[in-house]
Amino acid sequence: MSQRLETVRTLIRQSAVPADRAALLAPGRQPLSYGGLLELIERTGGRLRALGLTARARIAVALPNGPEAASAFLALASCSACAPLNPALRKNDFEAALGSLRAEAMLVEEGAEGPAAEAAQALGVSILRLRKGGPAGWFELVDAGEVRELDWPGSDDTALLLHTSGTTSRPKLVPLTGANLCASARHIAQSLALTAGDRCLNILPLFHIHGLAAAPLATLASGGSRPPLYAVPGHEGVLTGLANLSRELGAGQPVWAFDLRRIEAPDIATLAARCTDLLLEHDPRGAYRLLGICFGSYVAVKVAEELIDRGKTVEFLALVDALNPQWRRGLDLKPLIAAYLGQLREKLRGHAALVRNRPPAVVLSHLGQRCLAFVRNHGTNLLARLPEPATAAIRHRRMVLRFQPRPLALNAVLFSLPGRRPSAAALGWQGVFANVEVVNLEFDPRGALTARNLPRLAAELARRLG
């Protein structure tokens, strides 16, 4: 399974629901929203790349305390490695700090010609100038060129560089990764029981770790829930099961579901393209977490393909009770028979467990229901091979017959109900994804979103979503 991306930018993005909620405030100025802060981060990162400053570039900052110092830290730590310095240092102290940092640039206010700029100029370090204006914390980089496409740092890349105080010896340089900062911010927010309704009045210097992690970062970390889980329902498009799953996951994990009954499409690829359009309209930035249930799994796979083709990042993909329709391709007769016999064995074992020690009337009722379900399912499969007209369920089955996944450089979690599908290795997906993790749920002829399996499914998802 892929490691979850933990950076300053993802921390802010996770809190940016709704995007128009205030993130930074200052007296006498309009607040900067979460959406505005994310836009500022992307604009700043694009301009840094235009200047040749990469995701691993070390950028020193010498700004007076204020909203721009906070937003500059958030932007630079999201895009490169930020090194805030005390703006009251003398020139020789700035020179020593820049030398130990091996800084590639120094950020100062527009018009500032003090010791920070002089030290940078003396050492040949590029000087970036910040022009403030607009909402609290909004700024532009002066003469920074056009915005370029961004390569974002990873969780283990350095996001913040600070010097120790040097009380007992020479100051030492301490690098902190994006994952370090996210963990610290969340722990502080949890310890202080911060919520989205809290506001932090920061009086701490924004070149000390407590002024950075305990003030803006912890406050932002408390401001929202986890990134949404975008879910695609099964072939009948009923959302009740997903609503129950959402309740099991809890209020801290948003779940957004596509209502397939309202989306007309002739095939899965077109259906996925329209779902992707809706997804990007709701959240244009990503990274994305996808969940597919039964038929919805095939749509989710194609949505992942669409997102990747459009330059987006898929962070998590889970498929529930979904057999790759192409699983039989290339199989000899012997393993094919073994797969169906394995399914039959698990199915009989599962049904026996469901009716064990039950009254005869209940057993007969169960057998009758399963016989009707067998006729209905296989009848639908037969009708799916016939020409139009057809019901939505038959159209979806017909789409599955034509489903052709392509190899994806993604990890996937597969939730299987042994006995519901042929006992194929990794449900036939092993050649599609880079890595496949299979989690077996309890057999239930009605599927995974039932009272029998929902708690386990929700717990397994929550553990992986973080």
Count: domains in the chain? 2
Of 221, 242, 265, which marks where a domain is finished? Answer: 221
Q: Tell me the C-alpha to C-alpha distance, in Å, between residue 67 and each of 26, 48, 396.
A: 7, 20, 53
Residue corresponding to tokens 């721009």: 68
Mean pLDDT for 447-464 is 90
**Judgement on whether residues 162 and 238 belong to the same structural domain of the protein:** no
191 contacts: CB under 8 Å, gap ≥ 6: none
Say if residues 278 and 306 touch (Cβ distance below 8 Å).
no
pLDDT at 93: 93
Higher pLDDT pick, 78 / 166:
78
Of 228, 213, 226, nearest in space to 77 by CA: 213
Structural domain including 153 reads 8-221
Higher pLDDT pick, 107 / 13:
107
**Judgement on whether residues 34 and 170 belong to the same structural domain of the protein:** yes
> Torsions phi, psi of 310, nearest 5?
-95, 15
- The model's pLDDT over 381-429, given as tens digits with 9 standing for 90+, comes to 555 455 554 566 667 677 877 788 899 999 999 999 888 877 777 778 8
- The model's pLDDT over 351-388, given as tens digits with 9 standing for 90+, comes to 777 778 888 887 777 677 767 766 666 555 555 455 55
Residue 413 located in a structural domain: yes
Structure confidence at residue 3 as a pLDDT band (50, 70, 90): very low
Mean pLDDT for 177-205 is 85
pLDDT tops 60 at residue 68: yes
**Judgement on whether residues 212 and 249 belong to the same structural domain of the protein:** no
Classify 441 as helix, strand or coil. Answer: coil
3-state secondary structure 137-185: CCEEECCCCCCCCCCCCCCCCEEEEEECCCCCCCCCEEEEEHHHHHHHH
**Judgement on whether residues 249 and 210 belong to the same structural domain of the protein:** no
Give the side-chain half-sphere CA count within 13 A for 138: 14
**Judgement on whether residues 198 and 282 belong to the same structural domain of the protein:** no
CATH of the domain at 101: 3.40.50.980
Q: Chain-wide mean pLDDT for the chain?
A: 85
How far is it, in rounded angstroms, from Cα 49 to Cα 53? 5
Say if residues 3 and 155 touch (Cβ distance below 8 Å).
yes
pLDDT at 413: 95
Mean pLDDT for 130-150 is 86
How far is it, in rounded angstroms, from Cα 173 to Cα 371? 71
Structure confidence at residue 450 as a pLDDT band (50, 70, 90): confident
pLDDT tops 90 at residue 461: yes
**Judgement on whether residues 174 and 153 belong to the same structural domain of the protein:** yes
**Judgement on whether residues 255 and 168 belong to the same structural domain of the protein:** no
Model pTM greater than 0.85?
no
**Judgement on whether residues 201 and 234 belong to the same structural domain of the protein:** no
Structure confidence at residue 274 as a pLDDT band (50, 70, 90): very high
